[in-house]
Amino acid sequence: MTTVLIVDDQHLQRYGFRILLESVPETDVVGEAAHGAEAVRKAAELRPDVVLMDVRMPGMDGIEATRRIVASGGRSRILVLTTFDVDEYVHAALRAGASGFLLKDARPEELLAGIRAVAAGDAVIAPALTRRILDEYARYRPVRPGDPAEDPRLGTLTEREREILEAVGRGWTNGEIAAHFVLSESTVKTHVGRVLAKIGARDRVQAVIFAYDIGLARPHEG
Q: What does DSSP say about strands 27-33 and 77-82: parallel, antiparallel, or unpaired?
A: unpaired
Over range 185-207, report the average pLDDT. Answer: 88
Please, are residues 42 and 60 in contact by the beta-carbon 8 Å criterion? Answer: no
pLDDT band at 7 (very low <50, low <70, confident <90, very high): very high
C-beta neighbour count of 149 within 10 angstroms:
12
What pLDDT was estimated at residue 114?
A: 86
pLDDT band at 222 (very low <50, low <70, confident <90, very high): very low
Q: Is 80 exceeded by the pLDDT of residue 52?
A: yes
Q: Is 60 exceeded by the pLDDT of residue 194?
A: yes
Q: Is 90 exceeded by the pLDDT of residue 51?
A: yes
pLDDT band at 141 (very low <50, low <70, confident <90, very high): low
What pLDDT was estimated at residue 172?
A: 79
Q: Is 70 exceeded by the pLDDT of residue 131?
A: no
More confidently predicted of 106 and 167: 167
